[in-house]
Structure 1
Amino acid sequence: MLGMNEIDREDFRNLLDEIGRTRMPFGKYGPKEHPPRGYPIYDLPVEYLTYFKERGFPKGRLGELMEWVWELKANGMDPIFDPIRQQNGGRSRFKPRRPTEWDFGE
């Protein structure tokens, strides 16, 4: 993975565009808890990303993108994702799924 000092402006724009389109495909931020596509990786909490940093990011492109997001957030650059958030209707909120049925024990 290229470091932040080794990437040119156009590549960085492309990287941010790809990050903006990528959603978590598994886990508590995946489609099961955040239907239909999962949580955007740019809004994942830094603590969650740090967990992966310490134990290893997923293999492949998803892991590379998550590592970039962690790097940017860990260096205080979270506002760089604000234009992506505005384009997508604001910051994603983590809300646990509500039950769709209730049993009142008639």
Structure 2
Amino acid sequence: MEIRPDSKQLLELAHYKMPFGKFKGRYLVDLPLPYLVWFRQKGFPEGKLGGYLNTMLTIKDNNLEPVIRKLQKDFPREST
């Protein structure tokens, strides 16, 4: 079975910012690992944010942050 990531969703994840709380406005990749672990323990929010936080925890657990940072650099979000 071949796994293919959704490139649009991956780019959105790379540019997604925390919408509330202590780290409001920070890219999810910039959130500290203990904060993501805390969310896992308490329960991720429902919807897109919860999915992205869970995915970011997996990315950080597997030391794949450079992939996200490269996406941010190579595909900057257009300012509107």
**Where on the TM-score scale, by shorter chain, does this alignment land: which range?**
0.7 to 0.9
The residue that corresponds to 2:4 in the other structure is 8
Higher-helix-fraction structure: 2
What residue ranges of structure 1 are gaps of 5+ in the alignment? Answer: 31-37, 89-106
| Structure-2-length-normalised TM-score | 0.78
> Where do 4+ consecutive residues of structure 1 move more than 6 Å?
none
Give the Cα–Cα distance (whole angstroms) in 2 for the partners of residues 6 and 56 of structure 1.
30
Q: Normalised by the size of structure 1, how large is the TM-score?
A: 0.61
Aligned-partner Cα distance in 1 for 2:2–2:40: 21
Q: 1:58 aligns with which of 45, 49, 71?
A: 45
Paired residue for 1:94?
A: none
The Cα offsets for residues 43-96 of structure 1, whole Å up to 9 and x where unpaired, read as: 1111111110111111111100111011111112121112134355xxxxxxxx
Match for 1:86 among 47, 63, 73? Answer: 73
Match of 1:72 in 2: 59
Equivalent residue, structure 1, for 2:33: 46
Larger radius of gyration: 1
| CA distance, structure 2, for counterparts of residue 67 and residue 6 of structure 1 | 22
Residue pair 2:15, 2:27 contacting (<8 A) in 1 also? yes
State the distance in 1 between where 2:30 and 2:11 align: 14
**Distance change >3 Å, CA 58–CA 6, structure 1 → 2:** farther
* Distance in 2 (alpha carbons) for counterparts of 1:76 and 1:50: 15
Q: Which amino acid aligns with 1:43?
A: D
CA gap of 1:85–1:18, structure 2 versus 1, over 3 A, is closer
